[in-house]
Structure 1
Amino acid sequence: MQLNSNFKRNAPTQLLINFNCSAEQLYYDDLPYHPYCTDNFKTGSYQLRRDRAIEKSIIQHNPNHLIRCLVFDMDKPKGANAYWNAQDHWKDVGAPEPNWIVINPVNGHAHYYYMLTTPVPITDNSRIKPRKYIAAIQRALRIQLQSDIGYSDHLAKNPIHEKWTALVTRHETYSLQELEQYVDLKTLVKTPKRESEGLGRHCILFDELRWWAYSRVESAKQNMSFEQWLNSLSTKATSLNTFNTPLAYSSINSTAKSIARWTWTEYTGTGTSKNRGRDTNKNHQLELTDKQTYAAIKTAEQKVDSSITQIKNAILILEKTGCKVTKPAIKKLTGKSLSTIKRYWKIGVH
């Protein structure tokens, strides 16, 4: 697929911006409508409308449920000689040519962008094989490129921002089959689940959470509201996010919402578990007002559990990345209000 400067995604009018460069146009049009972005990782990331987020130097490159490009974080590999540079590294290791090479002029570190001809959806309605296929290709390329395995794959250098030196090295997008020609998927060694990186984490979380949901949704429909069911999946997704490099909260929450909606409205299986509802035999005997009160209490309890889990995981992420654990930093990661964080801080959640 040749990039076209007149190409337009079906986007709201206020989000459309015209670029003279076809590569810049495709990059911008493929961004999420409200991506996370920042100019400084230490102050955290936040969501802005796409036409405003594009002014930030760091930005979310893929929508939560769609992989439109693969990005690799390129630091100088161990053992590389003094003449190493990100611009030529892909040639030295026999990797495919990136569409974008976005270089930090201060330290020479870079992000490689590989734009996909056909985006890969990662929702409960999407097929599992393509998700696992792209995850395997990403992992194989990461090994070949010797890129940073700790990269979270959520935010990347914005190639349109003046802070970086951005090079357009290829104008044609890639199919997954074309990328596979540069790697050997048969030689990939299986890794422990919690040591997975990149898109592999999405596949693992998605599979673990959906199977957990399948066996409980029928009982949930009898004893919970949809909001309670969603809270329950969000809490479970947070507890499963124990990877060496944890997924971003926006990613796990979107996965939880996708599975919650689909299982609530579409799933018809019976699962393998027995009735797991809370006080099932007692609930059906309550009056409507009592049921509503009981449901409200349980919803509040679930929100408390979810908040505590998210705050604890945010603290772990800050500690792992060497950042100072502060209430504002936790607020940026979790989206919780400072008053909520202070409330649980006082009871020793940290």
Structure 2
Amino acid sequence: MLQHDLFDRLPRRPYCADAKDAPRRIRPRSSALGHPYIQPNAPQVRFWLVYDVDRPQAAVAWEDGGLPPPTLTVTRRDRDDSAHLWYGLRVPVRMADPEDASRAMRYAAAVELGMTRQLGADLAYTGQLAKTPTHPVWRTLHGPRLYDLGDLAEHVRELPRLPTRREAIRTGIGRNVELFDCVRFWAYRHARDYRRGPFEAWRDAVLERAMLLNADLFAEPLPVAEVRHTAKSVAGWVWARQRSLDARFAATQRHRGKLSGAARASKSDARHLEALEESL
């Protein structure tokens, strides 16, 4: 993969850091690439599935796992027991899309979990920061291509229908799925409580709930930007859906009212006609 392709696939202002546990800063892409660690994905899309492998011969863990070669393999220069395997997706996965209940996100979570198992990668790795492929402190091997999710799924020996809850809330996309589900189910139940107020009050309520769930569900919470994206997507979609349901309900009530009125008028006409016939 060419360097400009990597550049275009990174967030415009990613997090970056000088060490794995160092404070994170937000910088423009060009500046962030000068740090050893960088945020590989933006909150709204996944261009990369990144796996953290910490064991001898980590760079070739994909061979042992029966998987295709990574798009990028980023390793330490002095040891062979630590690597980040970057699998680039030809078509990125949209995150937290309520329109289809994020079927693509669920599929990506299942593929990600299956590959994590086969690679023997760290299940607790969240993918928030990864070794920067172009930084000179690392050694980077370039693989042959980008992948479709279906291409990767063909190599997963046991593709989970859905990640188990215990594993889902520890893996990268799996945690997004868990938060998305919890937020949207809460929103479905409570949207009508806010239907007479402004959208801003509803949006803030959904965000507050998402923040609470993020802190409560995960040992390492999702970044605030991802929580905000999920909350914004759910709030907007459920608000529009509730308005549509209210409009349909009102139209149904009006239609039923017209039918009821017509039925009453018909009965009244029938009674008048019957009384007229009896008087003759």
Fold match (TM-score > 0.5): yes
8 Å CA contact 1:152, 1:246 repeated in 2: no
**Separation in 2, partners of 1:118, 1:187:** 21
Asked whether 1:204 is paired with 2:178, we answer: yes
Stretches of 4+ aligned residues off by more than 4 angstroms: 186-190, 193-196
Aligned pair partner of 1:243 in 215, 218, 240:
218
8 Å CA contact 1:218, 1:270 repeated in 2: no
8 Å CA contact 2:69, 2:143 repeated in 1: yes
Which of the two has higher C-alpha Rg? Answer: 2
Aligned pair partner of 2:23 in 40, 44, 65:
44
Percent identity, aligned pairs only, is 31
Partner of 1:37, secondary structure, is strand
Asked whether 1:119 is paired with 2:83, we answer: no
Q: Which residue of 1 aligns with 2:77?
A: 105
8 Å CA contact 2:106, 2:177 repeated in 1: yes
Comparing 92-101 with 234-243, which one deviates more in the overlay? Answer: 234-243
8 Å CA contact 1:152, 1:248 repeated in 2: no
Following superposition, the deviation at residue 195 of structure 1 comes to 4.4
Partner of 2:127, secondary structure, is coil
Q: Which residue of 1 aligns with 2:206?
A: 233
**Separation in 1, partners of 2:159, 2:50:** 22
Q: Which residue of 2 aligns with 1:67?
A: 46
Runs of 5+ consecutive residues of structure 2 not aligned to the other structure: 247-280
Across the two proteins, how many residue pairs are aligned to each other?
A: 241
Following superposition, the deviation at residue 176 of structure 1 comes to 1.0
Q: Which residue of 1 aligns with 2:58?
A: 86
8 Å CA contact 2:124, 2:171 repeated in 1: yes
**Separation in 1, partners of 2:99, 2:16:** 27
Partner of 1:71, secondary structure, is strand
User: What are the residue-to-residue correspondences of 1:45-194 with 2, within 5 Å?
Assistant: 45-76=24-55, 84-108=56-80, 109-125=82-98, 127=100, 128-170=102-144, 172-186=145-159, 191-192=164-165
Following superposition, the deviation at residue 196 of structure 1 comes to 4.2
Following superposition, the deviation at residue 237 of structure 1 comes to 1.1
Distance 1:237 1:106, change over 3 A: farther
Following superposition, the deviation at residue 266 of structure 1 comes to 5.3
Question: Structure 1, residues 19-69: CA drift from partner, whole Å, max 9, x if none?
Answer: xxx432211101111111111344421221222222222111111111111
Following superposition, the deviation at residue 230 of structure 1 comes to 2.8
Question: Structure 1, residues 88-147: CA drift from partner, whole Å, max 9, x if none?
Answer: 222122122111100122443110011111111113355322111111000000000000
Counterpart code for 2:190: R
8 Å CA contact 2:16, 2:25 repeated in 1: yes
8 Å CA contact 1:93, 1:145 repeated in 2: yes
**Separation in 2, partners of 1:220, 1:213:** 10
Partner of 1:202, secondary structure, is helix
Question: Structure 1, residues 248-296: CA drift from partner, whole Å, max 9, x if none?
Answer: 222112211222233334543659xxxxxxxxxxxxxxxxxxxxxxxxx
Following superposition, the deviation at residue 234 of structure 1 comes to 2.1
Partner of 1:215, secondary structure, is helix
Comparing 65-74 with 178-187, which one deviates more in the overlay? Answer: 178-187
Following superposition, the deviation at residue 228 of structure 1 comes to 3.2
Q: Which residue of 2 aligns with 1:295?
A: none
Supply the RMSD in Å over aligned alpha carbons.
2.3
**Separation in 1, partners of 2:33, 2:151:** 30
Q: Which residue of 2 aligns with 1:213?
A: 187
8 Å CA contact 1:99, 1:115 repeated in 2: yes
8 Å CA contact 2:20, 2:129 repeated in 1: no
Distance 1:270 1:93, change over 3 A: same
Counterpart code for 1:256: A
**Separation in 2, partners of 1:264, 1:101:** 43
